[in-house]
Amino acid sequence: MKLLPTQMAHRLALAEPEEHWLVEDLWAQNGVGIVGGEPKSCKSFLALDLAVSVASGRPCLGRFEVRRAGGVLLFAAEDALSAVRSRLEGIAIARGTLLESLDIRVITAPTVRLDVAADRELLRNTVAELRPKLLVLDPFVRLHRIDENVCGEVAPLLAFLRELNREYGPAVVLVHHARKGAGSRRAGQALRGSSEFHAWGDSNLYLRRRGDALELSAEHRFAAGFGPLLLELATEPIGPALAVAEIRLPPVAPTRPVRERVAEALREKGGPARVAELRETSRMRTQTLVEELKAMVEDGEVMRTDDGFLLRD
């Protein structure tokens, strides 16, 4: 009879604290995760900065130390290859190095679709051959033709990327959009589509604009996060690059989570409640309420009935 391999818990290998990080405080060693934010929030610049830093060993954003330098494999689905090169050259110069000295390979295929078996096999073969330290895929919306709101369609694609991570060892950075107008929601819950995105990440980086300011926050599965940290897009000799601004943003006044307010309104109703009733009780915008109800239904916290929404026990 065949059994799965096991080992006594006290004999499992321990990692040194510095071995937890690929980029200290930013990205877990061999971690998968999301660089998320609304359109025009510099998500791609941050992903490229991670790529240059891992390939060069230079601090990411000029501040966060790289603990495990190595090769990078990048697929930039929305940008022309010439634009990718220009951005990488500008960031490399900002980090005190030259692009031609870095092991960054760019996938030049016009499309790579994670929901197509042949493309998944090509990506697997490429990762197996090159063994990059970091795989960057930007953005997720260009890597499929599924419904991002359906957990059953999203989960297999994220599971495939986790398989690549476990089998061949690269950290995986997946650039993904946040919902527009979701600034009042917790950053992870503001990611567009299924809640699978938030749950999947070992390290998630979130970019948000507050007026003219650009802020960065980090969330990790195994360590404390941080933020907000103020960033700026500085002009370099060849092209712009992100940098940490000298002034840290003031702390944001705590607000009650949207989900908590919706759950309280449902409990107060004591039975099925329609959107109009919940909107009056919770005193929130209809769009925000509807989005949160949809997310709570997907997460199994709320059920939809003919008479309205009902909080599950």
Integer CA distances (angstroms), 28 to 34, 79, 279, in order: 12, 27, 40
* pLDDT tens sequence across 85-94: 999 999 999 9
Class of the CATH domain delimited by 258-311? mainly alpha
Among the listed residues 30, 82, 36, the one whose alpha carbon sits nearest the alpha carbon of residue 54: 30
* pLDDT tens sequence across 252-296: 555 568 888 888 888 888 888 888 888 888 878 887 888 888 888
- Whether residue 191 contacts residue 178, with contact meaning beta carbons closer than 8 Å, is answered with yes
pTM over cut 0.85: no
CA distance 150 to 134: 28
* Residues 76-100, mean pLDDT to the nearest whole number: 94
CATH 3.30.1490.190 fits 18-244, yes or no: no
Return left, alpha or beta for 20; rule: phi > 0 is left, psi -120 to 50 is alpha, else beta: alpha
Cα–Cα–Cα angle for 299, 303, 304, rounded to 5 degrees: 125
CA distance 22 to 59: 11
The 8-class DSSP code of residue 62 comes to: T
Q: Hey, how many other C-beta atoms are within 10 angstroms of the C-beta on 101?
A: 9
* pLDDT score, position 29: 93
**Is it the case that residue 174 has pLDDT exceeding 60?**
yes
* pLDDT tens sequence across 101-155: 999 999 999 999 999 999 999 999 999 999 999 999 999 999 999 999 999 999 9
DSSP symbols for 96-135? TS-GGGS-EEE---S---TTSHHHHHHHHHHHHHH--SEE
* Residues 207-224, mean pLDDT to the nearest whole number: 90
* pLDDT score, position 15: 58
User: Best-predicted range by mean pLDDT among 57-71, 209-223, 245-259?
Assistant: 57-71
Reported as type and span, the H/E element at residue 22 is strand 21-23
CA distance 80 to 78: 7
Pairing assessment for the beta strands 134-138 and 104-106 based on DSSP bridges:
unpaired
Residue ranges of domains in the chain: 18-244, 258-311
